[in-house]
Amino acid sequence: MRKYGRTLVYEFLGDMVVYRNLVPMDSRLPPLAELWGIKAIGVPPGVIPRKNEVEYAQVMVHLLRRAQALNLPGVFIERLIYVGDTRMNDGAAFAHLCQVGGWPGWAFIGAEHQDEPTRVEIVEPSAETDYQGMYLANHWSTLMDFDQLCTQRGHPVDEHTAVIVDLDKTALGARGRNDHVIDQARVTAVERVVHESLGTDFHLSAVRAAYDQLNQPEFHPFTADNQDYLAYICLILGSGLYRLDDLLEEIRAGQMKCFGHFIAAVDRRKAELSAPLREVHDEIYAAVQAKDPTPFKLFRRHEYRATVERMGCLEDDSPVEQLLAQEIVITQEVREMALAWREQGALLFGLSDKPDEASIPSMDLVAEGYRPIHWTETHAVGSEENDYTGDDIP
């Protein structure tokens, strides 16, 4: 692995980026609220679809076509490229985008397995797959090979191509290589919100143990793999209202089937909570009842701070191993390929399912010089096989 200078996601995506609330950072594109209720898009007012839902694709296809009209008027999108890190979530988003847009597509799904020889699984496009191909790789360095394969399969990346780049654990904090630092930021955010809500009246080790345990795939049906829910659960466990062992026993016995059951149970016992914690609970409970996908705003604001604190925080002469261990870095292979594709005329667009509150600074932080995640400078790190060096961002 080697370093490739300092840069930022904006270098290769510009402001063609949306976070969870589907409000494009490029103000020339309409926010989700302006698209609610439009029959051709099909998203009811007040609904914020998640990335793996068909409704999300309906919004994104509209935005991609609007962006293409700004980028190259009169040139239409005819094919799709998708770069992500999870076969299930990104694979579903990719399939829905192709289906809604009526486009053939290829997706690169990467995750680093450093101790393994290069291994690639190719799912060829066919009528059975709605002409969607997938390239599943265990090394991010194979992204250039993926580009060559697309050309060989008659799927060139050019001015008729839209390229979707997943941000979290793909462009930033590559899965299997650097994603643990993103997780560290979330754990820090949980710890800070617990400390803020409970003062010193909690056991930090117990909170960490709860987070590590409940963040595992076994418990995703209970937490809905929602970090807001997980942070709230850790907060309640930290207060002592529930014990982790007792909660795990209830979950495994099917007595506590989902997060909704848990927060309802807490609400019935909220008189046992301290006044500050009861206030936090009431706010989150109301947001959950209103179907807000990001009900724990305080946690997400802490997550934003904890994330940017880990971007570009080390000296330029820091060893690569230290950068990967302590800093959220840009994936050089994704950066290099995105720049090449943009040079070939493709439309580049970045997606993040991270909530806006965890990605964009509040106005008071903007006044202090904080910027959105894609505008925050950090180091780029990638395989030595890449020869693109680029220039540092001034």
Residues 175-214: pLDDT tens digits? 999 999 999 999 999 989 988 888 766 677 778 889 999 9
Over residues 282-321, the pLDDT tens digits come to: 999 999 998 888 999 999 999 999 999 999 999 999 999 9
pLDDT for 393 equals 35
Do both 245 and 142 map to the same domain? no
Do both 144 and 274 map to the same domain? no
Do both 102 and 33 map to the same domain? yes
Give a yes or no: residue 235 inside a domain: yes
Q: How far apart are CA 361 and CA 213, in angstroms?
A: 30
Give a yes or no: residue 214 inside a domain: yes
Do both 108 and 251 map to the same domain? no
Element (H, E) at 4: strand 2-7
Question: For residue 19, what are its two tokens?
Answer: 């976070």
Bridge partners, 380 (sequence order)? 330
Do both 98 and 244 map to the same domain? no
In this predicted structure, the answer to whether residue 77 has a pLDDT above a threshold of 90 is: yes
Q: How many domains does the chain have?
A: 2
Sign of the torsion angle spanned by Cα atoms 356, 357, 363, 369: negative
In this predicted structure, the answer to whether residue 391 has a pLDDT above a threshold of 60 is: no
In this predicted structure, the answer to whether residue 389 has a pLDDT above a threshold of 50 is: no
Q: How far apart are CA 356 and CA 83, in angstroms?
A: 21
Give a yes or no: residue 315 inside a domain: no
In this predicted structure, the answer to whether residue 277 has a pLDDT above a threshold of 50 is: yes
Do both 22 and 166 map to the same domain? yes
Do both 153 and 216 map to the same domain? no
pLDDT for 390 equals 40
DSSP 64-102: HHHHHHHHSTT----EEEEEES-TTHHHHHHHHHHHHHT
Which of 148-152, 158-162, 234-238 has the weakest average pLDDT? Answer: 234-238
Contact 110/174 with Cβ under 8 angstroms?
Answer: yes
In this predicted structure, the answer to whether residue 128 has a pLDDT above a threshold of 90 is: no
What is the pTM assigned to this prediction? 0.91
Do both 153 and 40 map to the same domain? yes
Domain coverage including residue 57: 2-177+329-382
Give a yes or no: residue 252 inside a domain: yes
Q: Which residue has the tokens 């799709």?
A: 80
Q: Strand ranges (DSSP E) for 230-372?
A: 330-331, 347-351
pLDDT for 385 equals 65
**What is the three-class DSSP state of 380?**
strand
pLDDT for 201 equals 63
Over residues 312-368, the pLDDT tens digits come to: 999 999 999 999 999 999 999 999 999 999 999 999 999 999 999 999 999 999 999
Give a yes or no: residue 322 inside a domain: no
Over residues 366-388, the pLDDT tens digits come to: 999 999 999 999 999 999 865 44
Give a yes or no: residue 79 inside a domain: yes
Q: How many CB atoms lie within 10 A of CB 119?
A: 11
If phi over 0 gives left and psi between -120 and 50 gives alpha, with beta otherwise, what is residue 14? left
Give a yes or no: residue 40 inside a domain: yes
Do both 112 and 249 map to the same domain? no
Give a yes or no: residue 389 inside a domain: no
Domain end call among 306, 341, 362: 306
Domain end call among 243, 275, 306: 306
Do both 189 and 147 map to the same domain? no
Do both 83 and 148 map to the same domain? yes
Do both 161 and 43 map to the same domain? yes
pLDDT for 394 equals 30
